[in-house]
Structure 1
Amino acid sequence: MEVSCAFPTALDSPDNIALAERLGYARAWVYDTPQQSPDVWMTLALAAERTERIGLGPGVLIPSLRHPMVNAAATATLTELAPGRVAVAFGTGFTGRRAMGYRAITWSYMDSYIRAYRGLLRGEVVEWEGAQMQMLHPDGHAPARPVDVPVLISALGPKGHGVTKEIGDGLYVTLQLPEFMKEYSWVPNLVWGTVLDEGEASDSEHARLAGGPGWALAYHGAYEFGGPSAVRELPGGAEWMDAVERAPEERRHLAVHEGHCVELNEADEAAWKAGGHRMLQDVTVSGTRDQVRRRLDDFAAQGVTEIVFQPCGPDTRAELERFLEAAES
């Protein structure tokens, strides 16, 4: 199983990707979350200039955020800057849409979007929104078509599985491992967590800072997919909902997603202090080095081919080093 990393797109992400390359990580994915991040393509271009080996890609692009021509042109640019190193993943939009108050896009839209995007990269004339279009870049303005990059799709249910099997090159998963994973030869699994010292408590300051942002996704996900009642079933869930419900209803998605995958927001802090930290090892890949190693072995047995670790907290180097040591032990 390959060991890769991910970063919530930030101004220091290109330097962190260069660090990950020096440490030996196989690939670096960055998020398409414009409501809280710099532009994903600008970040990847800077990372391409600072690296030589590590794979690069957006994980995941949200189709509704850009015209397919824009993503095709950006993809072509990155393949020229980092030849042979680029892969692209698409998703229907968790943070990239829900944090702005939208629901996820439909799978029919995803299917038609990726078909248009891939057709453009092949140099074909495609139809989008009733218009005929083609990549017309002259020599020197983009690599010659066709531009061939692998496309992965994030899917959990049968509709997404059907689209991915038909038009994708792999399955990108996170938070939940679908039963159909073993049908794919390339399955990155995005995880959060931290390697704890022997005897370190789940509510230590290090655990809160490095493991907390990933742990908080349990509450964010429960709220978005199950509603307030699902959150209240979690340890500290009542306190989490109390904090969220202090915001006006039309702005609660802002209270939920503030700090998403980066730091604990007000609701997350309330849940952590109320005992929610007890779930840390259940909902993230956290534990001692041996415990983390066993979790990774379990993922591999289920069909994961690439583990994608997002470090959190103030010491990115230490988190990357500790996780890689556990993965390779």
Structure 2
Amino acid sequence: MDIGCLFAPTTHTPDHIAEAERLGYGYAYVYDSPSLFANAWMTLGRAADRTARIRLGVAVVTPKLRHLVDNASGAVTLAALAPGRVDVVVGAGFTSAALLGRRGSRWAEVEEYILALRALMAGEEIDWEGARIALTFPGHSGLAPVTDVPVLAAAHGPKGFAVASRVADGVVTNPSHSSDPIPFEGRCVVTSYGTVLGEGEELSSPRVVDAAGPGAALALHLGEYGPLAGTDEVRGYQAWLASVPEERRHIETHREHLIGVTPEERPFITPKVIESATATGAPQQIRERLEHLEQSGATTVAYQPAGPDISRELRAFAAAAGL
């Protein structure tokens, strides 16, 4: 099983990806949510100049956020900068769509988008939204069609896994979204949140809350659809959210999403929540979880470091994973 990493991109992420390569991580993906994070394609372009081996990818692009041509061009450009080590993940959308006040795409749209994205990258002409389109890069642009960029699907339920089985080169899934995270045969990337505990460190430690809190807060954001359904913490968080004017709730729900913990979330990031919603634990516990995921069918675990010291999180997880 490969060990990769996943970033909520900031202006420092290119350097963190270079550090991840030195530590032995095989993959580095970044989220694409422009209302929250640094630009995904720009971040990976800068990372390409700092690395030589690690695979680079966006997880995820969505039909409702960027036009198909924009993402196809981004992927082809990144493939020219980092040949043979680019992945693209397509999904229905969660935070990126919510922050535009929209719902995620239908899975039929995701399936169509995957097929069209692959065709455009390969240099084909396609019909899209009533027009014939293609990537027609000039010969001196340094860009050329690519057919070696895997396109994966971000899938967390039966419809997503069905689409992935039909048209994608694998799946990226999140155990927080479902009690059955890997009902899929083939390349399966499982995301992991949390922090590696130091000797004698407690789940209530401020450092642990800062580092594991963003992943734990994701479960609060999922509410009754996530692993904390029915808990006092979810009820308390939802009660606070109900006090926010309705037209702003989507903004406040996702403020600091996966990158920090807001003052309003912090009272609900309890040791029980961290234990239930993240893969936080001592090094031996991390190793045991990785072994369990491998036995369950994961081919890659993508660890998302968070908190104020990303380098520490990368080093600690790499050591626990035996990189």
TM-score under structure 1 normalisation? 0.92
Structure 1 equivalent of residue 81 of structure 2: 81
* Structure 1 counterpart of 2:217, one-letter code: A
Post-superposition shift, 1:180? 8.0
Structure 2 equivalent of residue 303 of structure 1: 297
Kindly report which structure 2 residues correspond to 1:40-189, keeping only aligned pairs within 5 A, or say none: 40-174=40-174, 175-176=176-177, 179=180, 181=182, 183-189=184-190
Structure 1 equivalent of residue 284 of structure 2: 290
* Structure 2 counterpart of 1:303, one-letter code: G
Question: Structure 1: where are the runs of 5+ without partners?
Answer: none
Question: Structure 2: where are the runs of 5+ without partners?
Answer: none
d(CA) in 1 for partners of 2:212, 2:232? 16
SS at match of 2:64: helix
d(CA) in 1 for partners of 2:133, 2:229? 50
Tell me, yes or no, if structure 1 residue 239 matches structure 2 residue 233: no
d(CA) in 1 for partners of 2:299, 2:146? 28
Structure 1 equivalent of residue 256 of structure 2: 259
SS at match of 2:232: coil
d(CA) in 2 for partners of 1:142, 1:127? 25
* Structure 1 counterpart of 2:271, one-letter code: H
- Contact 1:243/1:266 (8 A) holds in 2: no
d(CA) in 1 for partners of 2:160, 2:147? 25
Percentage identity across paired residues of the two chains? 38
d(CA) in 2 for partners of 1:115, 1:321? 38
Q: Deviations over 1:47-69 (max 9, x none)?
A: 10111111101011122111111
d(CA) in 2 for partners of 1:45, 1:197? 34
Residues 234, 242 of structure 1: alpha-carbon distance in 2 compared, 3 angstrom cutoff: same
Tell me, yes or no, if structure 1 residue 35 matches structure 2 residue 35: yes
Post-superposition shift, 1:177? 5.7
d(CA) in 2 for partners of 1:73, 1:6? 22
d(CA) in 1 for partners of 2:55, 2:295? 24
CA RMSD of aligned residues (A): 1.9
Post-superposition shift, 1:144? 2.6
* Structure 2 counterpart of 1:206, one-letter code: R
- Contact 2:228/2:277 (8 A) holds in 1: no
Q: Deviations over 1:189-215 (max 9, x none)?
A: 111100112332211111101111101
- Contact 1:9/1:31 (8 A) holds in 2: yes
SS at match of 2:191: strand
* Structure 1 counterpart of 2:93, one-letter code: G
SS at match of 1:132: strand
d(CA) in 2 for partners of 1:100, 1:233? 28
d(CA) in 2 for partners of 1:181, 1:264? 28
- Contact 1:171/1:184 (8 A) holds in 2: no
- Contact 1:91/1:153 (8 A) holds in 2: yes
